Amino acid sequence: MHFLDQAKIFIKSGDGGPGAVSFRREKYIEYGGPDGGNGGKGGDVVFEAVAGLNTLIDFRYTQHFKARRGTPGAGRDRTGAGGDDLVIEVPVGTQILADDDERTLLADLTRAGERIVFLRGGDGGRGNASYKSSTNRAPRQHGPGWPGEEMWVWLRLKLLADAGLVGLPNAGKSTFINAVTNAQAKVGAYAFTTTRPQLGVVSHKGREFVIADIPGLIEGAADGAGIGDRFLGHIERCRVLLHLVDANDEDVATSYRIVRDELEAYGAGLTDKPVIVALNKVDTLDDELIAALSAELAEESGKPVMALSGASGAGVEAILDKLLEAIDHPEPGSDEREDASGDWSPI
């Protein structure tokens, strides 16, 4: 299945049905009178977040969505049937944005089963029976029904994960997520083997949490270099970031700083999130060199550095312990998604 995290669609709620103009014709009703019923209400446009979806690819092939209009009223005071609501199913984590220069946020669906009535259908028109009065005994006017609402909107998917992986291309992120989950991310000896975000579920010490891997960042990603920074939105909701640095880089401190600068340029509070710094691919190095590189990286980051190898599994358990600790005990103000009960989780 192809991954698509942005789509532009046209939505329209249903028009209200027109009211009826009708008069009674029963044999024993001497004066008859108006009996035209009201029109039915048009269908609403409803967005629903459903579990099991992680892409907006369906909206590449279908861009127009229109709810059904209400049925016209009829004689004998029969009100027309309301139009069926149009329910648009989207992945959990989908944002609905206005089609303007600022991409104004209109709605954010962050929980499975969450539904919002986004566009309300038009009300049905009045039948001529409702216009009857003491001075207007045989009205012939009726309401045509109110039109529905319509607009173009952007859908943007921000995947929900507890932890996010960041680093330069070939920092070993895909190898790590393959080692701790069943994600089966592509691994290769060249840059940008990861071209789309990957999600995996980690099972560790009787607990489960979701980890997200995004394409690697290079210097200038905020200005569009490489794959750019468009996929950083998928880690905006993470509680903790795992920053992997390749131990084989010429300067591990510079490698760390390049990624941090791109996160800062992107904004959205990514540099304020708790981060675990790890020196990856240490299976090919001796202890003395690992200690020296870790000290250099710690001096640059100002944080303790953990050593691991996604390929051999060395240090992976300790990393998962740290991630689980950060997820269970987030820093104050670091997780805007947390509700009053404090037990939010994407799984």
CA distance 273 to 66: 41
Burial class (CB in 10 A: 0-12, 13-18, 19+), 134: exposed
Cα–Cα distances in Å, from 204 out to 40, 49, 241, 323, 325? 55, 28, 17, 10, 11
Which residues are annotated as part of the binding site for GTP?
167-174, 213-216, 280-283, 309-311
CA distance 109 to 50: 10
**How far is the CA of 81 from the CAs of 46, 84, 121, 237, in angstroms?**
19, 9, 13, 43
Residue 202 and residue 207: Cα distance in Å, rounded?
A: 8
Region at 220 (left for phi over 0; alpha for psi -120 to 50; beta for the rest):
left
CA distance 209 to 187: 22
Encode 236-288 in three state secondary structure: CCCCEEEEEEECCCCCHHHHHHHHHHHHHHHCCCHHHCCEEEEEECHHHCCHH
- Give the Å distances, CA to CA, from 93 to 47, 129, 159, 336: 12, 48, 6, 14
Annotated binding-site residue numbers for Mg(2+): 174, 194
The position carrying tokens 């037990």 is 343
- Residue ranges for the binding site? 167-174, 194, 213-216, 280-283, 309-311
* Pairing status of strand 94-98 against strand 105-109: antiparallel
